[in-house]
Amino acid sequence: MKKAIICGVSGQDGAYLAQLLLDRGYIVCGTSRDAQMSSFRNLKYLGIDKQVQLESMALTDFRSVLQVLTKFQPDEIYNLAGQTSVGLSFGQPVETLESIATGTLNLLEAIRFLGAGIKLYNAGSSECFGDTGGSAADEETPFRPRSPYAVAKAAAFWEVANYREAYGLFACSGILFNHESPLRPERFVTQKIVAGACRIARGSNEKLRLGNMKIQRDWGWAPEYVEAMYLMLQQPQASDYVIATGESSLLADFVAAAFATVNLDWHEHVEIDDSLLRPTDLAVGRGDPNKANNQLGWQAKYKMKDVVQMMVDTKLSNSLEWQQTNNYVPSI
């Protein structure tokens, strides 16, 4: 049986990846900075919390990383840990850089030190590309990061590339565009929108406050994207891949779709709040997933409207009375 360590198992991607690997017969170890104090809410939501071995590991502490790798002796490591919010990174730039860039470097150095042939997947980000002028970004598109988060992810990407070339490690990065699910916390704008629309549909008189509605993003479905992570480590040679749907939508369209799903006009319930604007933001994010399509056999099945529908369905799943009153028919 293969063994895998998932760093950052408590997050959206970590939980879905753990589920996928367990279904494929893996022994899975999930790590967080304090496994005793973490709730692992997402693992419980998926019903797999008892199947994952949980360990405390501080990625910024090389000794901590080395101890866990020596104890578990994994075949594969999936590095999904670190500060995950672009907006928060402007307020916490040092913590963001250390948790992502230093954490990734410690994993690479520990793998090199052990010399055990461990395969490493590193979670890259489409934010590294910066503003591409509306063009779809592929693996050859230069990085022009525009946030502390993107700077940290770009540094981690080049660390992985350097260790792959200098030491022959099987290490790769998935450059993932935005991917959503019901496991997203509300600090992410997509879940904030879905949760707000559902509360208003149930009778709340609140106004949903949002920032820049003109940005465009390439939104996909998180459970599909973790499959791409797994496929990258099953290839004969390590390589980096852009993972995306290839289609972009305005944030305003995402909002409109969420409110339309619960039979509301978003214009009546949304206000623009200038305090939510970021110091710098990307106008358009769009990925070109052709390499993943051709080499991994991976292609996104769900696009933005599908993602919105599934997130709303899940949010309303415990409100049977509301569904019956409003003749709402879930798609799942």
User: What amino acid positions are annotated as catalytic residues?
Assistant: 125, 127, 149
Instruction: Give CA–CA dist 142/241, Å, rounded.
Output: 14
Quick check: helix, strand or coil at residue 178?
coil
Instruction: Give CA–CA dist 127/141, Å, rounded.
Output: 12
Gyration radius of the chain over CA positions: 20
Tokens at 304, concatenated: 């933005």
Question: Do 157 and 100 form a contact (C-beta atoms < 8 A)?
Answer: no
Q: Where are the beta strands (DSSP E) in 17-134?
A: 27-32, 53-56, 76-79, 119-125
| Residues 243-256 as b or e (16 or more Cβ within 10 Å = b) | bbbbebbebbbbbb
Within a 13 Å sphere around the CA of 98, how many CA atoms are in the beta-carbon half?
A: 8
Alpha-carbon dihedral sign for residues 272, 276, 281, 286: negative
- Using CA atoms, how far residue 253 sits from 184, 212, 218, 257, 304, in Å, is 19, 12, 12, 6, 9
Instruction: Give CA–CA dist 146/143, Å, rounded.
Output: 10
Tell me, what DSSP letter sits at residue 270?
Answer: E
